[in-house]
Amino acid sequence: MNHKYIYLFPWLMLLACAVFAGNPDRQGEAGANQLLVNPWARSAGLHTMGTANVTGAEAMFLNVAGLSRIHKTQLQLSHTRYLVGSDINLNALGFGQRIGQGGAFGISLVAFDLGDFDYTTEDVPEGSGATFSPSFFNMGISYAHLFANKVSVGLTLKFVNEGITNARASAMAIDAGVQYVTGEKDNFKFGISLRNIGSKMRFEGEGLSKPLPNPGPTFPYDNTYYERSSAYDLPSQLNIGLSNDWLFGNVGRITMVLNFTSNAFSRDQVGGGLEFGLGEKFALRAGYKYEFDAAPGSVEATLDNGFSGGFTVSLPVKKGSDTRVSLDYAYRNTELFEGIHNIGLRLDL
């Protein structure tokens, strides 16, 4: 059989997955949905649909297999204004380092800043003037390996934490991914990633305790009773993506991406995007993601759909140097609030 027909297999697989889309009956049952918020500007410009071609430290969020395609060392810093008008911000740090012939090691840290909340109780429902700030935090340690410059695989171990002043929940999770590159100029890519597979989370702590009078007549002191909170799952998802590069001259490039996302606890999504690049100096990108069976702007739809766009400007620190500094920006439109803005700084050594 002519090997060119092998390229049709991923497209047929993508179509088959789309036919079986959707799991709306379990929508709302999972927690820790901060794991689905992309803090990285470069991939956010394509609405987090670069499963097949994402590379570098930010690949630890979407498809860890892409971590293996860094040149040597990469450091990324990112800030996200999430749902402008809600006063929610994200800060992220990513680090990747090549190891040996084809391996790469990475660390990622993502923290949410949700602002200050009034501290209220049953006795003081209007608040006493005290405030608290919730803590949403996750950390990942990753390893990826590239085989013969064609197939890369990767694995991430994540620690997830949510907490307030007197109650906290945590879990461990893993991400896994694979990318395959083929074509005359390595221009066709296929990727699969499985994300947020881990233990359930359950809030525990003094905030779930309550002193009540001793029911017995002998001892007059109060007893402290602890309530058990319900456990909840992590928002697991499967991503399948394709990308193809059209090269023009020595530096021109147009990349098309297609992506299907199967969510274990919400509706599935499909979308695509285009990226125009001029070598390593500049890139302009735009994407659109569609959520099955949910009208945009309705209470049933998630915020992770619609239009997105972004750009990258990258310059060497000095002429002829391999060390580059890059500025990434992305905007994602949302029906509620005023969209999501990502800005990031990337250093490649």
List the structure tokens of 140.
């990942």
Q: What is the CA radius of gyration of the chain?
A: 23
Whether residue 312 has pLDDT greater than 90: yes
Q: Using CA atoms, how far apart are residues 169 and 160, in angstroms rounded to an integer? A: 8
Strands (E), the chain: 73-82, 88-99, 103-113, 117-118, 131-132, 135-147, 151-164, 167-182, 188-198, 209-213, 222-226, 237-248, 252-263, 269-278, 282-291, 306-316, 324-332, 340-348
Phi, psi of 198 (to 5 degrees): -165, -165
Q: For the residues 165-175, what does the mean pLDDT come to? A: 94
Q: pLDDT tens across 229-278, in order?
A: 899 999 999 999 999 999 998 889 999 999 999 998 888 899 999 999 99
Q: Map tokens 């100029």 to a residue.
A: 185
What's the pLDDT band for 347 if we cut at 50, 70, 90? very high
| Between residues 158 and 223, the one the model is more confident about | 158
* Amino acid identity for residue 203 in this structure: F
Question: What pLDDT is recorded for position 134?
Answer: 92
Average confidence score pLDDT of the chain: 88
Q: For the residues 91-96, what does the mean pLDDT come to? A: 97
Question: What pLDDT is recorded for position 139?
Answer: 97
Decide: residue 5, CB within 10 A, 0-12 exposed, 13-18 middle, 19+ buried. exposed
CA dihedral 202, 207, 211, 212 (to 10 degrees): -60
What's the pLDDT band for 14 if we cut at 50, 70, 90? low
Class of domain 3-205+233-348: mainly beta
Q: Find all residues with CB under 8 Å of 300, minimum gap 6, and list them.
A: 24, 27, 267, 294
Q: Are 62 and 56 in contact (CB under 8 A)?
A: no
Question: Model-level pTM greater than 0.85?
Answer: yes
Whether residue 162 has pLDDT greater than 50: yes
Whether residue 344 has pLDDT greater than 70: yes
List the structure tokens of 332.
């994602």
Q: Using CA atoms, how far apart are residues 220 and 223, in angstroms rounded to an integer? A: 10
Q: pLDDT tens across 37-63, in order?
A: 999 999 999 999 999 999 999 999 999
DSSP calls for 220-258: -SEEEEEPPPPPBB---EEEEEEEEEEEETTTEEEEEEE
Whether residue 20 has pLDDT greater than 70: no
Q: Using CA atoms, how far apart are residues 239 and 133, in angstroms rounded to an integer? A: 33
List the structure tokens of 87.
């006063």
